[in-house]
């Protein structure tokens, strides 16, 4: 096959950041995605409809002329979130709220410390038809970082989905066979996003031969058996799994650091890298479902009308990109050859 045309995809999980950075991140995503679920972990976090709509305005200001792009905003849940915050957000067109266990990842210290105390908010979300997007890791110090997703399923997520069967839950950026199995066996109200890095890499790619800070993200890459389980999940064509890059930019100096930040900036090669994975799996016929239809169907939104075409052409992801503030950033898979290219 030398070209593939699919319904224009959406990215159901990413981090644009704010300010100057939007002039880099928004065009990089709008080049091939029509919509994106925009994570709210700014400083300060996006905790109400007013902040989300103001942030949306700043994102729209950064969309290049001639591109259509629709940012779908999210609310950052805290133990101060009220049921009225949910009602107001839904009325403002905000489709989802994000649950970060406090301390789990970048800018999550203000997030949820008492998960069970959120149950009235989850109840209101179920009533309002607002989706719950979950960063699924426990944060207890005694739990090994490689086990944190599995322990979250056992201790937290199983209880949430059984108590709120009407609540639509997206288990974000899953990294384990345990998570893929949990989602596959759960009701139709439970789905998951999967990133390019968790399909392409495993923890050897993080640690063998030296630490690779640009492959460090959270939840952290797991062993190869988990990577294989995720690959089989997308190959299955199940509508419960869809595209969410978790593109999460941090400047080079913040990644190549004694205490490096978690996050892979994958927007530059996202759809192309997914195409490469699906081709390796001999499942290119499943790419459109994963990238373009499972997500909107789960969210209850219309599928996009436009299409994109990927052509078989080799190109190399740049070693570095210069951010609008002059600092370099290293994109995910920098310096590697990619075999599919977005036709202009």
Task: Please state the closest distance from residue 143 (CB atom) to ligand NCD, in A.
Answer: 16
Task: Please state the closest distance from residue 246 (CB atom) to ligand NCD, in A.
Answer: 5
Residue 198 as a binder of ligand NCD (CB under 6 A): the answer is no
- Answer whether 195's CB lies under 8 Å from 156's CB: no
**Contact with ligand NCD (CB under 6 A): which of 25, 29, 41, 245?**
41
Task: Please state the closest distance from residue 324 (CB atom) to ligand NCD, in A.
Answer: 18
Nearest alpha carbon to residue 266 among 314, 195, 324, 207: 195
**Contact with ligand NCD (CB under 6 A): which of 263, 289, 295, 296?**
263
Residue 218 as a binder of ligand NCD (CB under 6 A): the answer is yes
Q: Which is nearer to ligand NCD, 21 or 126 (CB)?
A: 21
How is residue 211 written in tokens? 């630490």
What is the rounded distance in angstroms from the CA atom of residue 156 to the CA atom of residue 203?
Answer: 25
Residue 174 as a binder of ligand NCD (CB under 6 A): the answer is no
Question: Distance between alpha carbon 238 and the CA centroid of its chain, in Å?
Answer: 18
The answer to the question of whether 17 is labelled as a binding residue is: yes
Q: Which is nearer to ligand NCD, 87 or 151 (CB)?
A: 151
How is residue 171 written in tokens? 């288990």
3-state secondary structure of 22: helix
What is the rounded distance in angstroms from the CA atom of residue 29 to the CA atom of residue 266?
Answer: 9
Residue 246 as a binder of ligand NCD (CB under 6 A): the answer is yes
User: Which residues ranging from 94 to 133 are in contact with ligand NCD (CB under 6 A)?
Assistant: 105-106
- Answer whether 11's CB lies under 8 Å from 244's CB: yes
What is the rounded distance in angstroms from the CA atom of residue 291 to the CA atom of residue 288?
Answer: 5
The answer to the question of whether 226 is labelled as a binding residue is: no
The answer to the question of whether 262 is labelled as a binding residue is: yes
- Answer whether 242's CB lies under 8 Å from 298's CB: yes
How is residue 174 written in tokens? 């899953």
Q: Which is nearer to ligand NCD, 135 or 333 (CB)?
A: 135
**Contact with ligand NCD (CB under 6 A): which of 87, 254, 262, 311?**
262
The answer to the question of whether 135 is labelled as a binding residue is: yes
Task: Please state the closest distance from residue 219 (CB atom) to ligand NCD, in A.
Answer: 7
How is residue 242 written in tokens? 């869809």
Residue 15 as a binder of ligand NCD (CB under 6 A): the answer is yes
Q: Which is nearer to ligand NCD, 10 or 137 (CB)?
A: 137
- Answer whether 310's CB lies under 8 Å from 341's CB: yes
Residue 81 as a binder of ligand NCD (CB under 6 A): the answer is no
How is residue 100 written in tokens? 């970060």
Q: Which is nearer to ligand NCD, 34 or 137 (CB)?
A: 137
- State the catalytic residues: 246
What is the rounded distance in angstroms from the CA atom of residue 60 to the CA atom of residue 36?
Answer: 12
The answer to the question of whether 294 is labelled as a binding residue is: no
Task: Please state the closest distance from residue 180 (CB atom) to ligand NCD, in A.
Answer: 18
How is residue 196 written in tokens? 């390019």
Looking only at Cα atoms, what is the longest distance across the chain?
Answer: 53
Binding mask 134-173 for ligand NCD (x = CB under 6 A): -x--------------------------------------
Nearest alpha carbon to residue 222 among 244, 209, 206: 206
Nearest alpha carbon to residue 234 among 308, 309, 169, 183: 183
Write out the residues near ligand NCD by the rule CB under 6 A: 15, 41, 105-106, 135, 217-218, 246, 248, 262-263
Binding-site residues sit at 13, 15-17, 41, 98, 135, 173, 218, 246, 250, 262
Which residues are part of a known binding site for substrate? 15-17, 41, 135, 218, 250, 262
């Amino acid at each position: 096959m030398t070209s593939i045309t699919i319904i224009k995809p959406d990215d159901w999980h990413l981090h644009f950041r704010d300010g100057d950075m939007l002039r880099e991140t928004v065009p990089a995503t709008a080049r091939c995605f029509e919509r994106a679920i925009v994570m709210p972990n700014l400083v300060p976090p996006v905790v109400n409809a007013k902040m989300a709509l103001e942030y949306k305005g700043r994102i729209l200001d950064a969309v290049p002329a001639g591109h259509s792009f629709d940012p779908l905003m999210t609310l950052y849940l805290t133990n101060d979130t009220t049921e009225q915050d949910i009602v107001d957000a839904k009325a403002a067109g905000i489709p989802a709220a994000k649950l970060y266990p406090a301390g789990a990842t970048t800018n999550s210290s203000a997030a949820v410390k008492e998960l069970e105390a959120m149950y009235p908010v989850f109840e209101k979300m179920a009533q309002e038809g607002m989706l719950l997007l979950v960063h699924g890791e426990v944060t207890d110090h005694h739990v090994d970082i490689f086990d944190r997703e599995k322990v979250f399923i056992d201790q937290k997520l199983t209880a949430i989905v059984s108590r709120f069967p009407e609540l639509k839950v997206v288990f974000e950026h899953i990294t384990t066979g345990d998570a893929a199995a949990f989602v596959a066996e759960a009701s139709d109200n439970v789905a998951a996003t999967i990133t390019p890095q968790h399909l392409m890499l495993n923890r050897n790619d993080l640690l063998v031969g030296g630490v690779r800070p640009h492959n460090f993200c959270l939840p952290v890459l797991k062993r190869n058996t988990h990577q294989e389980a995720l690959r089989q999940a997308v190959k299955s064509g199940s509508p419960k799994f869809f595209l969410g890059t978790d593109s999460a930019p941090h400047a080079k100096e913040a990644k190549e650091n004694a205490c490096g930040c978690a996050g892979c900036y994958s927007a530059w090669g996202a759809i192309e890298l997914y195409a490469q994975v699906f081709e390796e799996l001999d499942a290119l016929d499943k790419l459109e479902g994963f990238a373009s239809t499972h997500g909107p169907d789960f969210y209850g939104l219309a599928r996009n009308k436009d299409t994109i075409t990927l052509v078989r052409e080799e190109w190399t992801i740049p070693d570095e990109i210069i951010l609008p503030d002059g600092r370099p950033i290293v994109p995910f898979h920098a310096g590697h050859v990619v075999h599919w290219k977005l036709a202009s």
